[in-house]
Amino acid sequence: MTSICNIGNAGIDLIAPLGTTWPTRAGAWQVIEEDLLFKAGGCGLDTAVGIAKLGAPSKLVAGVGAGGHGRYVRQVLEREGVQLEAACTHPTLRTPLDIAVRDAQGVPSALHFAGASKHVDAALLEELHERGFFQDCAAIHLAGVGLMPAQRSPSFAKKLTDILANSPCLELSLDVSLHERLSRDEWRRILYPLLASGLVHVFSPSYDEACQIHGLPRDSTLEEQWAADFYGFLRENYAGLAKDFVLILRDGKDDSVVVDADLRQVRVRAEAAEAIDLSAAGEAWWAGFLVARHRQREARSFDRSAATLVPALRLGHAVAKRAVQTWGSSHWDLSGLG
């Protein structure tokens, strides 16, 4: 049986109560009487756990530390049925940590401490490859590019290219994470080695992330023409995109617009949900999307036309809707979906 592999980060999330704000003056203390929420999280972990909960074989490449936080993360992954190799534990680097606050609508902003995510580099990929880790991976997903320091290195893209040339991977997908300070030129330096390899088949940033990559301010909502224009921007600025490259843009309402290589477009609407935790909505969406694509491959109904992608988009939205109503991926109840 083939598996789905996520390459991303896994660590500890500390989430402040709803409506908490960052101190705005140097030297100031802000006293919060309510407690922090402590949970395992990260763009790689959340998607990998979601995949396992949906019943697909799930693997994760993520750097964690050898201390207590690392043990906790590994225990969560083992309990949820996600495979994390021992080589992913670094002896000295600390487990990644996010400290997040959420506005009144629950939208989080965070300080991200990369720590052992720096361990997920070309050398680790090579070690795992030599051990046969990728030999059953029909799909590989790069999660949270922008948060992962080593994924910015051309050597990482080169090693991944070498591995994919000798693996059964049929689909490589790419996700990014909105960064406060990255410019259009900086994003190009990060993304070009990956996108120009011709191996990335599916790229799905949020509308906010796409605007930052494009270098344009966000308008009120995502329109189909904007998605088509962004697809053209990628073709023009990232020479070497895969011939069957697919772009999926998701807006703040979790609607999505897909543009395929023939410039056919489909918009899929998502049902509104009473959200409790938005911190992993995108990761949950990816879990649903990746599992639906996995099922299409097994059923041999697999191509990269906009119409064929619609069932995967719908499952992505359904999983995200279910997930945001629960605290933390390890507590998601995804039974009955798909």
pLDDT at residue 126 in the model: 96
Which range has the worst mean pLDDT, 26-40, 69-83, 89-103?
26-40
Q: Is the dihedral of CA 121, 152, 286, 294 positive or negative?
A: negative
Buried b or exposed e, range 86-125, using 16+ CB within 10 angstroms: eebbbeebbbbbbbbbbeeeeebebebebbbbebbbbebb
Torsion of CA 166, 169, 171, 172, to 10 degrees: -60
What Å distances lie between residue 108 and 25, 93, 330, CA to CA? Answer: 20, 26, 19
C-beta separation of 173 from 203 below 8 A:
yes
Q: Is the pLDDT of residue 252 over 70?
A: no
Instruction: Quote the tokens at residue 227.
Output: 């998605």
Considering 125-129, 214-218, 280-284, the range whose residues carry the highest mean pLDDT is 125-129
C-beta separation of 316 from 285 below 8 A:
yes
Q: Is the pLDDT of residue 103 over 90?
A: no
pLDDT tens digits, one per residue of 217-247: 888 778 889 999 999 999 999 999 999 999 9
The overall average pLDDT reported for the chain is 92
Query: Residue 253: pLDDT band by 50, 70, 90 thresholds?
Result: low
Q: Is the pLDDT of residue 254 over 70?
A: no
Q: How far apart are CA 143 and CA 46, in angstroms?
A: 10
C-beta separation of 11 from 48 below 8 A:
no
pLDDT at residue 87 in the model: 98
Residue from 327, 285, 276, 251 nearest 106 by CA: 276
What Å distances lie between residue 72 and 8, 35, 75, CA to CA? Answer: 17, 20, 5
pLDDT at residue 211 in the model: 93
Considering 103-112, 133-142, 164-173, the range whose residues carry the highest mean pLDDT is 133-142
- Length of the chain equals 338
pTM: 0.94
pLDDT tens digits, one per residue of 4-60: 999 999 999 998 888 888 888 888 888 888 888 899 999 999 999 999 999 999 999
pLDDT at residue 17 in the model: 87
Instruction: Quote the tokens at residue 321.
Output: 């809707």
